[in-house]
Structure 1
Amino acid sequence: MKRKTGIWTAVAFLAAAVATSLVVRQQFYGSAVRAERDLYISARTDYAGLTDSILPAIRHRRAFRFYAERLGLPETFKPGHYVLRKGMSVVEAVRMLKLGMQTPVRVTIHNVRTPAQLASKLSRRLDADSAAWMAVLTSPEAARKVGFDSLTLFSMFLPNTYEFYWTVGPAEFLERMRREYDRFWTPERDAKRERSGLSRLEVMTLASIVAEETRRTDEMPRIAGVYVNRLRKGIPLQADPTVKYAMQDFGLRRILYKHLKYPSPYNTYINKGLPPSPICMPSLAAIDAVLDFERHDYLFFCARPTFDGYHNFARTLREHNANARAYSAELNRRNIK
């Protein structure tokens, strides 16, 4: 009987040991993440901030703390954007943070008029704050490294959706944007540009004006043709969007005579030729519209009084004035100031 009792006791201890081992293994290697969740760990976050972010999303918190300490995570975790996948284990989560196995984020840049607006948009999608982005976007040295100056750097950016690691630094971001710029300027686009007689900067600047004049992509080549005609004849562009940019008043709905005299190198009513840099980040459609500008003899255009987004074009000032009076009368009728 004693022998049988000893055997059963040993079996019981063995079963308990196996059960404990299975429980421990489950806590480390079993499912710990309840539901998929994005985790953002800033370069300015300390380890306490990391645990505050991750522990509410997982089970087996003691196991996490133990394994994290064992791997030296408090001193070695990597900032970044991580995706905690449903069913991920404690071991997988800790190793992901230690090795910096980030998931890229998608960053869309478009509808931007100034470096300050771009800095604000980037700070909402990436780790660096707006001050850090603004410092680089206006830095002569940073611009020089990618082949521009601080005034023309804005012409390098192309609207699109890009993938970045969330922790990408502003300098690295600029290098990536330079590669995208070089990729955009294919031999075919450069050949068209050379036929137009415009530099890359001039194409981007003219495209920015065209983009601000119309959202109708089918009309962009015709508007681009008007401006090319004026440039070739030495006629001031007299583009209303450049006045808004000069005044930094993008909500201005009606350009009055007093606005036309606003002193600025961007005001194309008082300066011949193109502004010194783009007045917005032009769409790809607007850039290609400049490269494929329509050849015609129009020198003027004015918004249609039907407010359908299209324009009436004219070859003579007399025709243009008639179009402008019709549009002005409609503005008055609608009480648009």
Structure 2
Amino acid sequence: MRVKIVVVLLLVFCVSAIALWAEYCRVVSSSVVLEHPRIIDISKGDSFNQITRKLLKQNVNIRPLWFKLLAYEKQITNKLKAGEYELKVGLTMPEILILFVKGTPRQYAITFPEGWNFKQIIDRIQRNPHLEKTLSRDDFPAIMLQLGSQHPSPEGLLFPDTYFFDKNASDLSVLKTAYTKMQRVLKTEWDTREKNIPLRNAYEALILASIVEKETGVAEERGQIAGVFTRRLRKRMLLQTDPTVIYGMGARYQGNLRYRDLRRPTPYNTYVIRGLPPTPIAMPSQAAINAVLHPEKGKSLYFVA
């Protein structure tokens, strides 16, 4: 009799275990019920239980027990990475855990258009709610030190492009990415420059490229404009370009240039100073950099703006 009871209990246990295992396999292989994508923000220091509660609070229909057993089975309960994640419709529980372990959080984008100056870039960064603000917008020496640059100003040293970042990335990390890309592009273009251009170094090429960028109304005109400026530099003529005057005026520029503005000395007024201004006046595109290093041939010393 006792043997029969033991056998029955063992059978019940085995059947229950098989049923539980089958249920476990079914649950973990099924898509989590989501009506639409959800955003889950995992903070540094969140425990596995806290993460589970965040999922449930966002109506991510996981089975907490199976979710935890799955994490224990894969030995990843303490390997989930902080970040903001987008859970798309159709994900299974293992796929959610893999997402959290790989640490591929949702990314945001910020765009720096060609021809923008540093003030415009900093203004856009300051308005972006997803970036951590660490920089003092007017402390150029500190910014340059953190970028690892020897130049006096960040103007023109950031490559115009769209950059992607995780939530709460620092503003400095974005600037470093843009700075590094500009250094790479500038070196590539400088290394393939034409001989006998009237530019002593890559930084001078960047300065002239920024002027060409601001003077260009149609992309195809960059080479022509660069040709005019390089010929004027060879002849030691004044560049006489309005964008440099406007840049040098700063906040005093109200939309119109007057004759007296063209005569007022500033380090950037190319109607007064000979040669190039001390820094770029904007972020030039790669096309503008290429144009000043491969200027269009010709004899003209003027162009129609």
Fold shared, TM-score > 0.5 on shorter chain: yes
Does the CA-based 8 Å contact 1:140-1:150 persist in structure 2?
no
Residue equivalent to 1:93 = 96
| Greater displacement, 212-221 / 56-65 | 56-65
Does the CA-based 8 Å contact 2:115-2:214 persist in structure 1?
no
Does the CA-based 8 Å contact 1:82-1:101 persist in structure 2?
yes
| Aligned-partner Cα distance in 2 for 1:154–1:299 | 27
Structure 2 gap ranges (5+) = none
TM alignment of 1:1-337, pairs within 5 A? 15=15, 17-32=17-32, 34=34, 37=37, 39=39, 41=41, 52=54, 55-56=57-58, 58-60=60-62, 62-63=64-65, 66=68, 77-102=80-105, 108-111=111-114, 113-122=116-125, 127-129=130-132, 131-133=133-135, 138-140=140-142, 142-143=144-145, 146-151=148-153, 153-161=154-162, 169=170, 172-173=173-174, 176-177=177-178, 179-185=180-186, 189-192=190-193, 195-198=196-199, 199-248=201-250, 254-261=256-263, 264-303=266-305
Please list the CA deviations of residues 74-129 of structure 1 after superposition, one character each: whole Å capped at 9, or x if unmatched: x8753335443443233442353245244666654323523232234456779533
Please list the CA deviations of residues 17-74 of structure 1 after superposition, one character each: whole Å capped at 9, or x if unmatched: 544444444444532263784747487897879965785262116358856997796x
Higher relative contact order (CA 8 A, sep 6+): 2
Residue equivalent to 1:323 = none
Kindly, what percent of the aligned residue pairs are identical? 27
TM-score computed with the length of structure 1 as normaliser? 0.66
Describe the shift of the 1:262–1:127 C-alpha distance in structure 2 as closer, same or farther (beyond 3 A).
farther
The residue type paired with residue 114 of structure 1 is N
Describe the shift of the 1:289–1:208 C-alpha distance in structure 2 as closer, same or farther (beyond 3 A).
same
Please list the CA deviations of residues 152-207 of structure 1 after superposition, one character each: whole Å capped at 9, or x if unmatched: x3333222345655665555555544543443245663352662131211111111
Partner SS for 1:158? coil
| Aligned-partner Cα distance in 1 for 2:236–2:60 | 68
| Aligned-partner Cα distance in 2 for 1:242–1:61 | 64
Describe the shift of the 1:10–1:72 C-alpha distance in structure 2 as closer, same or farther (beyond 3 A).
closer
Structure 1 gap ranges (5+) = 304-337
Describe the shift of the 1:205–1:46 C-alpha distance in structure 2 as closer, same or farther (beyond 3 A).
farther
TM-score computed with the length of structure 2 as normaliser? 0.71
| Aligned-partner Cα distance in 1 for 2:14–2:118 | 69
